[in-house]
Amino acid sequence: MAQLKKFEAAVYNEEVRACLAIGETHKGVGEEWAEVHYVELLARNLDDAKAMAARRFPASKGFVIREVEEMKEFL
């Protein structure tokens, strides 16, 4: 089995941002998601990490995955 690597996804919610811009609150997602969250993922490769992020944070619910990158370990 391939060893898992750490990745980081930068994610925010566009629907929450739009609601806050007009002074409303989003009914299903907390307003903290208007800001970018950096979420760690364990995956075999970048493609798997992107797919995992897309499943956890679906575009259909307003989430935007700004980027996914491999985290380099400091020795």
**Prediction pTM value:** 0.89
Q: Report d(CA 61, CA 67) in Å as an integer.
A: 17
C-alpha distance from residue 52 to each of 21, 22, 47, 68 (Å): 29, 32, 9, 10
Q: Identify the pLDDT of residue 73.
A: 76
Average model confidence (pLDDT) for the chain? 95
Domain segments of the chain: what residues?
Answer: 5-70
Q: Identify the pLDDT of residue 74.
A: 59
Which class is 5-70 in CATH? alpha beta
Q: Report d(CA 24, CA 26) in Å as an integer.
A: 7
Each residue's pLDDT tens digit, 18-48? 999 999 999 999 999 999 999 999 999 999 9
Minimum mean pLDDT range among 2-6, 14-18, 41-45, 54-58: 2-6
